[in-house]
C-alpha cells in the first residue's frame, strides 16, 4: 500500500459520492446521527458538569452541608423515614465543635405547597422560600442592595425578607427595593435587601430566593419542619470539623455505636465527586444509545459497499487483469468506506456543534462547548465504523476471479 494508491482510492471514493449524492447521504445518515448524538451529548454533559461543579465550589472550601438524606437527592425510603434535623442540632454543633466557625439551620418551605409572591399586582409563583439565620450570609452571600437580616430580627419574629437577584429585578425593575413591602402567601413582609446571584447557578434557573429570619419562617409556616444545617469550619480545619460534627450529631440523635449515621455530611469536594459519578454513568448510557445509530449506519455502509462491488465487478476484473493485487482492491474499497463514514462523521460533528449552540441559547447559564475528546472520538469512531463494516465487501471484491469478473454483465 502506497500513498499514491490511498490517494487514488480517496479520489475514486469522492467521485462515487458526487455521482450518487442521495444514496451516499442515506448510506451514512445513521453515522451522522450517531456522531452528532455523541458530540451533542458530550458537549451538554461537559457543560452541565462544569456548571454544577462551579455551583458546588461556590459553597466554599470550608463548608459542610448536613442533611438527613443523601446530598444529591433521590432519597431512599429509609432516608425519608429518618428523624428530622432541628435547630437544636445546630446549637449543639455550635457549642461543642471548636473547629466550627459558624453554623446555621436552613428551614425549607413545604414542598407540596404552591407559593405566591406579589408586589403591586405582579405575581410570581416560582419561588425558593427558606428561613435561616445571620450566619448563613457568612457562606459567601453578596448583597446588591440593603443588608442581610440579623439574629435579633429572627428572635423577635420580624416580618423582613431578602430577595434573590432575579426576583428583585422582576418586582422592582431597577428601583431600590429596600423598604418596599411585598406579599408572600398572604403575609406582608418588608424587603431589607437583595442578594446577588450566586457565583454559579443551575442552568436555566432564576434566582427567585426569598429568605426570611428563621423564627419568622417558623411563625408563618408552622408545618414546615425540614431543616438543613450549613456548617462553616475554620480555615484548614475542615476534616477535624467533620469529625466533630459527626460525633455531636450521633450523640444528639442517639445513634448506637454499631449503627451507621442517620444523616449525611457533604463537603463541596464530596458533592462534586458524587456528581461526577452520576454524569459518568449518564454519559456512558448516552454513548451506548448513540452507538445504535452508528451500528445502523455501519450496516448501511456495508450494504451499499456490497451493492457497489456488484455494480463494479467488471471494473474489478479489468484492474486485476492489468496487474492489480488483492491488497490494491482491498485498499480501494476500504478507502471508499472510510471516506463515506468520515464525511458522515464531519457532518455529524457539525450537527453536534449546532446542538451544543442551541442548548447554550436555551440555557443561558450552561457553558456548552464541544470538548476535544468528544470531537476526536466522534471522528475516530466514524472512521472505525467504515473500516470495520468495509472489511467484508472489500474482501469479497478482492477474492473475485478476474476471468469471471471480466465476463460479468
DSSP class per residue in 245-296: HHHHHHHHTT--TTS--SSEEEEHHHHHHHHHHHHHHHHHHHHHHHHHHHHH
The answer to whether residue 66 is domain-embedded is: no
- In terms of domains, do 307 and 248 share one? no
| pTM, two decimal places | 0.60
- In terms of domains, do 125 and 192 share one? yes
- In terms of domains, do 179 and 258 share one? yes
- In terms of domains, do 279 and 258 share one? no
> Minimal CA–CA distance to 142: which of 165, 124, 159?
165
Q: What are phi and psi of 346, to 5 degrees?
A: -65, -45
Place of cell 413545604: 110
Which residues neighbour 277 within 8 Å (Cβ) at sequence distance 6 or greater? Answer: none
- In terms of domains, do 38 and 132 share one? no
Long-range contacts of 81-84 (CB under 8 A, 24+ apart): 82/262, 82/263, 83/253, 83/262, 84/225, 84/226, 84/227
> Minimal CA–CA distance to 230: which of 366, 65, 347, 383?
65
pLDDT by 10s per residue, the chain, length 409: 566 666 666 676 667 667 777 777 777 787 888 778 777 777 777 777 766 666 655 566 788 888 888 766 667 888 888 889 999 999 999 999 999 988 889 999 877 788 899 998 888 888 889 999 988 887 678 899 999 999 999 999 999 999 998 899 989 987 899 999 999 999 999 999 999 887 545 545 678 899 999 999 999 999 888 898 988 888 888 889 989 999 999 999 988 888 888 888 887 677 777 777 777 777 777 777 777 777 777 787 787 777 777 777 777 777 777 777 777 777 777 777 777 788 888 888 888 888 878 877 776 666 666 767 667 777 787 778 777 777 777 777 777 766 665 665 5
pLDDT of residue 265: 85
Which residues neighbour 186 within 8 Å (Cβ) at sequence distance 6 or greater? Answer: none
The answer to whether residue 247 is domain-embedded is: yes
- In terms of domains, do 187 and 211 share one? yes
The answer to whether residue 207 is domain-embedded is: yes
Place of cell 427558606: 130
The residue from 203, 229, 262 where one domain ends is 262
- In terms of domains, do 258 and 121 share one? yes
pLDDT of residue 79: 82
Between CA 73 and CA 308 the distance in angstroms is 55
- In terms of domains, do 107 and 220 share one? yes
pLDDT of residue 192: 95
- In terms of domains, do 92 and 203 share one? yes
- In terms of domains, do 214 and 252 share one? yes
pLDDT of residue 178: 93
The answer to whether residue 77 is domain-embedded is: no
CB-based contact 297:286 (threshold 8 Å): no
pLDDT of residue 267: 78
Supply the range of the domain harboring residue 236.
83-262
pLDDT of residue 156: 93
69 DSSP 8-state letter: S
CB-based contact 314:270 (threshold 8 Å): no
The residue from 198, 229, 262 where one domain ends is 262
Burial class (CB in 10 A: 0-12, 13-18, 19+), 388: middle
Grouping H, G, I as helix, E, B as strand and the rest as coil, residue 325 is: coil
Place of cell 428572635: 155
Distances (CA, A) of 252 to 70, 182, 218, 262: 19, 39, 22, 11
The answer to whether residue 268 is domain-embedded is: no
Place of cell 463548608: 63
Between CA 233 and CA 340 the distance in angstroms is 59
Angle, helix 238-252 to helix 87-96, in steps of 10 degrees: 130
CB-based contact 345:36 (threshold 8 Å): no
- In terms of domains, do 249 and 154 share one? yes
pLDDT of residue 64: 85
- In terms of domains, do 241 and 106 share one? yes
Amino acid at each position: 500500500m502506497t500513498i499514491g494508491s490511498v490517494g487514488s482510492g480517496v479520489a475514486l471514493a469522492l467521485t462515487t459520492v458526487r455521482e450518487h449524492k442521495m444514496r451516499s447521504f442515506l448510506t451514512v445518515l445513521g453515522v451522522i446521527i450517531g456522531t452528532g448524538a455523541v458530540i451533542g451529548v458530550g458537549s451538554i454533559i461537559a457543560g452541565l458538569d462544569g456548571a454544577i461543579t462551579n455551583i458546588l465550589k461556590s459553597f466554599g472550601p470550608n463548608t459542610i452541608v448536613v442533611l438527613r438524606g443523601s446530598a444529591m437527592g433521590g432519597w431512599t425510603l429509609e432516608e425519608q423515614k429518618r428523624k428530622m434535623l432541628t435547630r437544636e442540632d445546630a446549637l449543639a454543633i455550635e457549642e461543642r465543635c471548636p473547629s466550627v466557625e459558624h453554623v446555621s439551620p436552613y428551614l425549607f418551605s413545604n414542598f407540596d405547597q404552591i407559593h405566591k409572591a406579589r408586589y403591586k399586582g405582579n405575581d410570581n409563583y416560582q419561588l425558593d422560600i427558606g428561613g435561616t439565620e445571620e450566619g448563613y450570609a457568612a457562606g459567601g452571600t453578596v448583597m446588591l442592595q440593603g443588608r442581610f437580616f440579623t439574629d435579633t430580627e429572627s428572635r423577635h419574629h420580624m416580618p423582613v425578607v431578602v430577595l434573590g437577584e432575579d426576583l428583585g429585578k422582576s418586582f422592582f425593575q431597577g428601583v431600590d427595593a429596600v423598604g418596599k413591602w411585598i406579599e408572600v402567601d398572604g403575609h406582608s413582609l418588608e424587603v431589607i435587601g437583595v442578594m446577588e446571584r450566586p457565583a454559579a447557578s443551575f442552568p436555566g434557573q432564576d434566582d427567585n430566593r426569598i429568605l426570611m429570619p428563621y423564627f419568622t419562617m417558623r411563625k408563618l409556616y408552622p408545618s414546615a419542619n425540614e431543616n438543613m444545617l450549613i456548617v462553616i469550619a475554620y480555615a484548614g480545619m475542615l476534616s477535624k470539623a467533620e469529625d466533630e460534627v459527626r460525633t455531636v450529631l450521633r450523640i444528639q440523635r442517639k445513634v448506637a455505636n454499631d449503627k451507621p449515621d442517620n444523616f449525611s455530611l457533604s463537603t463541596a469536594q464530596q458533592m462534586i465527586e458524587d456528581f461526577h459519578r452520576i454524569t459518568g454513568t449518564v454519559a456512558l448510557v448516552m454513548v451506548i444509545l448513540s452507538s445504535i445509530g452508528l451500528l445502523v449506519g455501519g450496516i448501511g455502509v456495508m450494504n451499499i459497499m456490497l451493492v457497489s462491488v456488484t455494480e463494479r465487478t467488471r471494473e474489478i476484473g479489468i484492474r486485476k487483469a492489468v496487474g492489480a493485487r488483492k491488497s490494491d482492491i482491498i485498499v480501494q474499497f476500504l478507502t471508499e468506506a472510510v471516506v463515506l463514514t468520515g464525511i458522515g462523521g464531519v457532518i455529524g460533528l457539525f450537527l453536534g456543534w449546532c446542538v451544543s449552540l442551541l442548548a447554550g441559547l436555551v440555557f443561558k447559564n450552561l457553558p456548552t462547548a464541544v470538548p476535544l475528546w468528544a470531537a476526536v472520538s466522534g471522528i475516530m469512531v466514524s472512521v472505525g465504523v467504515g473500516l470495520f463494516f468495509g472489511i467484508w465487501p472489500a474482501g469479497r471484491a478482492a477474492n473475485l476471479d478476474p476471468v469471471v469478473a471480466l465476463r460479468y454483465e
